[in-house]
Copies of this chain bind each other. A is one copy, B any other.
Amino acid sequence: MIEPALYLIPVQLSEGDLAQVLPQANLALVSEIRHFVVENVRSARRFLKKCNRDIDIDSLTFSELNGHTPPEDVAAMLSPLEQGEAVGVISEAGCPAIADPGADLVAIAQQRGMRVKPLVGPSSILMSLMGSGFNGQSFAFVGYLPIDASQRVRKLREMEHRIMHDDQTQIFIETPYRNNSLLADLLKHLPQAMRLCIASDITGAGESIVTHTIKQWSSLHVTLAKVPTIFLLYK
C-alpha cells in the first residue's frame, strides 16, 4: 500500500521508451493509484497503459482538470484523498503544475494539510536551461509573451532589464505555429550581442538545443519547425 498523498506524476515529452525519461519507481507507483486527476483522459489512459500494460484501466477513476474545468469543481477531486486514498495528477506533457494545470488543485491540498508528493520527470524548461549555458543561479520563466506588438516590445525591454540588471536568465514559450514569428520579433528588437538559446523537441528524436548571439541567429536565416520550443535569453 502506498502512502495516501497527492502524487504529481510527470509524463514523457515525446514518443519513445518511458525508461529514457522516468524513474523505474514512478512506473511501479502509478500502478498502485486508483484515482487520477488528469488534463486529458485519453492521453492519461494511454500513458498509464504504457507504464503498465496489465493495468485495469476500467477500475480507475478519472477527473478532468483543464482550462474548461469550473473552479468550484476542483476541490471535490480531492475527496478520495480525504478518505485515505492516493490521488495522482497527470498533465498532457511534462510536470503537472509547471506551465500546466494542477497548481490550483495542489493549492487546495496544501490548504487542507494534505501531503503532496512531486515525482521526478522531464521538464523542458529545466532541461533547456541546463543545456543553454546560461545563468542557472538566477532565472525566470515568464510563460507566453504578449501577442500585441507594442506590449510585446515592452515585455522584451523588461526582460532585457532583468538580464542586465539582475543577471537573470529569461525563459519563455510560444505556440509552435508562431515560433517563426516570435523569432523574427526577437531578432528585430533585441541587442545584437545578446544570446538566445532555442531548445526544440526536448527528449525527442529531433532534440536541438542551440545558443547563438542575436547577430549570429540573424545571419543564419533559420526556419523553426512547428514543434514545442523553449526560448531563453541571457547576456
**Interface of A toward B, CB cutoff 8 Å:** 8, 17, 19-25, 95-100, 102-111, 116-118, 120-123, 125-143, 166, 168, 197, 202-203, 207, 209-211
Complex CA gap A106/B132 in Å reads: 7
Label chain A's interface by main secondary structure. mixed
Q: Are A130 and B19 in contact (CB under 8 A)?
A: no
When the two chains form the complex, which single residue of B22, B98, B116, B209 contacts A118, counting CB atoms closer than 8 Å?
B209
Copies in the complex: 2
Query: How near does chain B come to A169, taking the closest CB pair, in angstroms?
Result: 9
Smallest beta-carbon distance A116→chain B, Å = 4
- Kindly provide the distance from the CB of A16 to the nearest chain B CB, expressed in whole angstroms: 10
Query: B residues within 8 A CB of A211?
Result: 107, 110-111
Closest residue of chain B to A107, judged by CB? Answer: B133
CB distance from A65 to the nearest CB of B (A): 13
Residues of B within 8 A of A126 (CB): 95, 98, 118, 123, 125-126
Q: Which residues of B contact A128 (CB under 8 A)?
A: 118
Of the listed residues A17, A137, A202, A209, the one surrounded by the most CB atoms of chain B closer than 10 A to its CB is A137
Closest residue of chain B to A141 (Cβ to Cβ) is B139
Q: Could you list some 20 contacts between A and B, CB below 8 A?
A: A17-B25, A19-B24, A20-B120, A95-B130, A96-B130, A97-B129, A97-B136, A99-B137, A104-B133, A106-B132, A110-B133, A116-B131, A118-B127, A118-B128, A120-B120, A123-B123, A126-B126, A138-B142, A139-B141, A140-B141
